[in-house]
Amino acid sequence: MDINPQYITWRRDLHQIPELAFEEFETADYLERELLRLGLSPVRLGKTGLMADIAGRASGPTVALRADMDGLPLVEDSGEPFSSRHEGVMHACGHDMHMTILLGAIEGLLARRDFPGQVRIMFQPSEERPPGGAPDLIARGVLEGVDVVLGLHVWSGFPVGTVGIRHGTMMANSDRFRIRIHGRGGHGSEPDTAKDAVLIASQIVVNLQTIVSRRVSPMEAAVVTAGTIRGGVTFNIIAEDAEVTGTVRTLNHGTQALVEEEIRVVAENTARMHGATAELEYMYGYPAVINHGPVVDAWRAAVGRDAHFIEPSPSMGGEDFAYYLKERPGAFAFLGAAPDTEVFPHHSPHFRVSEEALPIGVMLLERGARHFLQHPEQATAR
């Protein structure tokens, strides 16, 4: 597909001004100006969220389209000539692409308002940082009157032209944990008189790996990752306290509850073995992204052969789009955007995506919106 030059302008402008969660002030101002230029009347939701409605030719259903806005705390090293102008912040997950795609879909919908009902536009802050911006927008009424909600995410691992979407669980529950270990400090030359919190923390990290390999069914998916371990003050003092933090990813509530309990058992019993104590703080994050089957089927049919659809395995990544899907029928898709150069993972300082994906994303959102405005009953069909 040919790329509208305006898409390139939007994407590169937005890529250069990344901002962290709930701090997307310059980004929101830019989007607000563009929405006004396009003839809409945007409303601020909170400090940086934006909502606008596109009215059709007659009354009817409401379809919501969402794009996230925030960047990540990374120093960009992508080599792009339009790299971030904000030191230490980067669009390393493609949210600049998402905002551009939604602007393109808006432009297309405005050019031909031959549909009933209305399209609700949602530019959402803070997808990257729990508790996320979706709950805040929902609390502010962004889903009032909405019948169907659609969203997408560029995916650097899929080639351009590919769209990944599946029935049911698309992305994982995304939780965090903190384990605090309390031992007894002492001199490094007399370890027998102390309870070494760093040693205990190290053993807890190792023992955590047995949860997935030995406690979770091999037919279920789970991830337990210890991301940090902290303890001690200097080289010759045995640490009295230490801390381990990490993340847990699961695809269903049963596995989620099992892993939480097993982390507690591992931490407490490992510490007890050394005469110390450990306490677990488990923090539930984004719930699983669960697509509604009828919406998936109808969306795919609306796009037809203009995209190559695949059914990927569920991603163990997390997404606060899940909150919208808990409230309304809808679906979330992965948009292939692999660059011609080396593919780097999302959240890498070297992250790049292909702008060739932009018109495909616009087509995906615009056709999805038009279809469900004409056929809202298909969102809940059995």
Q: Which residues are catalytic?
A: 70, 127
Helices (H), ranges, 143-252: 197-210
Three-state DSSP class for 6? helix
What contacts 172, CB < 8 A, 6 or more positions away?
A: 221, 223, 249, 250, 251, 288, 289, 314, 315, 316, 317, 318
Nearest alpha-carbon partner for 134 in 339, 342, 289, 30? 289
CA separation for the pair 150, 127 (Å, rounded): 15
Alpha helices in the chain (DSSP H): 5-15, 25-37, 95-111, 134-139, 197-210, 253-273, 293-303, 322-327, 358-374
Contacts of 313 (CB under 8 A, 6+ apart): none
Q: How distant, in Å, are the alpha carbons of 249, 263, 340, 349, 353 from that of 344?
A: 21, 31, 11, 9, 9
Q: How far apart are CA 344 and CA 352, in angstroms?
A: 7
What pairs with residue 277 in β-bridges? 182
Encoding tokens for residue 87?
């030191």
Residue 75 near residue 149 (C-beta atoms within 8 A): no
CA pair distance 228, 155, nearest whole angstrom = 27
DSSP category for residue 86 = S
Reduce the DSSP state of residue 367 to 3 states and report it.
Answer: helix
For residue 131, is the peptide bond before it cis, meaning its omega torsion is within 30 degrees of 0? yes
Return d(Cα 230, Cα 243) in angstroms, integer: 5
Q: How far apart are CA 19 and CA 23, in angstroms?
A: 6
Cβ-Cβ contacts under 8 Å for 344 (sequence gap 6 or more): 156, 350, 351, 352
